[in-house]
Structure 1
């Protein structure tokens, strides 16, 4: 059965990732896996220092440096294992006693790609262990995961609170239409009011697209509000979110429409950076 995959490291966001993943696991009634990946670039298992010291370097010095790198990697793996065990204990305290632990040595993106068939939802922090400033940066690995993985990704800020309402950035595209169908069919946000927001001109076609989405969600039992707003996509969505006090943002991750286009490149970081609530990205 596909898992909720919670990506944890030693960053301040790890507790929020745990809380977010526990919320999603309980809502979806899905198995939970905590994943810790030790970056091979920072902690290599095989160290080749030839040429790094200069001609005439003594062999014993090279051997000592290699041994230090090996010890550092072992300690990092041990620390990661403790993080995983702490996460499982934390989950057990909320009633989820069968969380799976998985530790890999390599690349987070490659690991998730390899496990993709067993993933229902990825939960990842807005910032990772290597982020310098929680207020002004998002994790570089997050952008790579969003670009690579073809599974829903739930991004959490450094502090997580269970969502009470949803902003769905709808544009009538196949991705967001599929997103409407997914939300209607699955229990992740069942019972939460949904605001469907289109950014652009209020044309007959836009109104028809929005009505299709509204009716689909109403038929599934949702309380739905709709709006079409003109303006810059990012600014308009953030303003609407603040105006309505909505605490979960849902949108498609890629494509060619105005909403999906702004999630490519540097604007991906801008949107995620400025949102202080969880964000569900659909692929």
Structure 2
């Protein structure tokens, strides 16, 4: 959006260029007024469309699987195939890293604030920006390409140093929506397990598992039924009530916040006022079930 358009958004009422005064204007001034009003409406619609984010209806009963994001150093950067990022689990505040283990997958956690971008993401459809609905391969340095493999303990994930495994699907948003850093998404294993990777308190290995099929908990986890019990915020059985409502609101705010940062950065800051005004409406729309 051009700076001049934003100026007209503010200037129109100050100049008296409104429909109420149109009858007192010359044909030329009327035409100019109408053109500027159309530009203002078009600009507003462009911002609204750019901020729009929707969660598919089929995710309403499993909102807690939407618990991943890509860290690129700053919020709102396009996530591009072939680049390195940090894969972060929002439920556990865990930035995925390689960690040698004896009986389980060699995975561990680092703080999301870490500047180490250790995850190479590769899009099955080829180069370009990742979109919701894309199938990708994930290479965790120095672990290798992540693949599904049964383990004696912990989550069934292993590595392959040679071949990319296009078995991970980015979900949780409308298919085709471009993915930006900071946007939340679900991570789905399309084969052979056909399930979502989620935070799951484990006795062995990293605290991740698969939605509904992994037994999450242990003596320490079970002390808090509000978190790990039925409909708990991080349970493997889904969410309901206020927990689901609050989690959805966080997801919507994160997604719209990422889009806001992207638009503002692309315009050199000139769209900041318009974006700030439109963001609450986009969040409210996203929160509708």
TM-score range, shorter chain: under 0.3
Whichever structure has more helix as a proportion of its residues is 1
Larger radius of gyration: 2
TM-score (norm 2): 0.22
